[in-house]
Amino acid sequence: MDLITTNDIVKFEAKCLDIKDIIDFSDWIKIGDYLKNVEGAVQFWIGDWLNYGEKVYGETYTQALEATDYTYKALSVMKWVCGKVLPESRSEGLSFKHHEVIAKLEKPEQKKYLDMADAQKMTVSQLRQAVNDSDEKVCEHSETKKIGYIVCSKCGENFGRCEDETA
């Protein structure tokens, strides 16, 4: 099964990369870059595929479980993340796991954290910590913490989620 054929010399097949002749070092580097991008894209592709299948055909997990070697849990995470973080909001410089961390946030917050993680070259753990830290933040104008999405009525600052049930 040919997945991608770049030319008669290099062939991407289901279980191997077939290089039939000597290639330039720069071409070899390009192939490595391509492979890195493919590896990082698969979870997004599967999540988008599942969302498309659900939208067009209805329930698709049974078929997806048969078509892939992924567990139901893995497929549901891919589908959820891709349903929450739409293609136009995704950052090419960050992993699927980075996007999973911010998927629970509202779209403006997603962008803020993805931009920050990309600019600062944050690890997934660092991004998760930044998101969790913002969840615990309380505005100096607030007298109590509240559960839910908090925006200070005086300064307009967004503080994510807090723990008190007075919301």
pLDDT for residue 152 is more than 70: no
Give the burial string for 5-39 (b: 16+ CB within 10 Å, else e).
eeeeebbbeeeeeeeeeeeeeeeeeeeeeeeeeee
pLDDT category of residue 8 using cuts at 50, 70 and 90: confident
Q: Which residue has the higher pLDDT, 114 or 144?
A: 114
pLDDT digits (tens, 9 = 90+) for 49-92: 999 999 999 877 888 999 998 999 999 999 999 999 999 999 99
Same domain, 16 and 78: yes
Same domain, 13 and 80: yes
Same domain, 4 and 58: yes
Q: How many domains does the chain have?
A: 3
For residue 118, the model assigns a pLDDT of: 95
- Give the mean model confidence (pLDDT) for residues 27-46: 89
Range of the domain at 147: 137-167
For residue 146, the model assigns a pLDDT of: 41
Same domain, 154 and 122: no
For residue 59, the model assigns a pLDDT of: 75
